[in-house]
């Protein structure tokens, strides 16, 4: 009985310690009725070994928000992907969505892994959201690898930019 109580106390205290770290920032974007959707797709494979972010050719669209208005945008990116490198290297392949050069939400500080250590091509997806202010906006997807010995293959991708009130 004492052992059970000690175990329960330990689990409780471990939970307090684990939850006392930096709190997560939850961003909420409330979107209204749909206004427009721009969908681009590509079925030609491409590979990068760039450790700096590079644009995914074609995964880009422009949105103009009228003066005095805002728009909620959701970006969905799906792709057949593989992250291939030497077995001695930990392979991570990252993506991000930008609005005029600024990361959309969720912001991963350049470390949103679409896939890691997987030589087999298979389907993956990511979604970002942001409320845009008035003006012209360029929304695009970029990718990079964590180690230059890694090849980040993307094939059969779809970029879906949905615009809402």
User: Could you tell me the CATH number of the domain that includes residue 63?
Assistant: 2.60.120.760
Residue 26 falls inside a structural domain: no
What pLDDT band is residue 5 in, cutting at 50, 70 and 90? Answer: very low
Rounded to two decimals, the pTM is: 0.81
Q: How many CB atoms lie within 10 A of CB 23?
A: 7
Total domains, the chain: 1
Residue 155 falls inside a structural domain: yes
Residue 62 falls inside a structural domain: yes
Residue 27 falls inside a structural domain: no
Residue 12 falls inside a structural domain: no
Q: Measured at the alpha carbon of residue 142, what is the angle toward residues 137 and 144, in degrees to the nearest 5?
A: 155
Residue 20 falls inside a structural domain: no
Structural domain span for residue 42: 32-164
Decide if pLDDT at 9 tops 60. Answer: no
Lowest mean pLDDT among 3-12, 60-69, 119-128: 3-12
Residue 87 falls inside a structural domain: yes
Lowest mean pLDDT among 50-54, 103-107, 140-144: 103-107
């Amino acid at each position: 009985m004492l052992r059970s109580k000690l175990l329960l106390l330990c689990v409780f205290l471990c939970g307090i310690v684990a939850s006392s770290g930096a709190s997560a920032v939850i961003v909420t974007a409330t979107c209204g009725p749909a206004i427009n959707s721009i969908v681009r797709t590509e079925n030609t494979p491409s590979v990068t070994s760039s450790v700096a972010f590079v644009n995914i050719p074609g995964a880009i669209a422009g949105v103009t928000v009228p003066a005095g208005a805002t728009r909620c945008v959701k970006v969905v990116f799906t792709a057949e992907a593989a992250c291939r490198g030497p077995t001695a290297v930990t392979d991570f392949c990252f993506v991000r969505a930008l609005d005029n050069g600024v990361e959309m939400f969720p912001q991963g500080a350049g470390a949103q892994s679409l896939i890691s250590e997987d030589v087999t091509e298979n389907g993956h997806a990511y979604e970002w959201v942001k409320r845009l202010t008035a003006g012209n906006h360029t929304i695009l997807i970029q990718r990079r690898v964590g180690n230059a010995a890694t090849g980040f293959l993307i094939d059969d991708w779809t970029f879906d930019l949905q615009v809402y009130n």
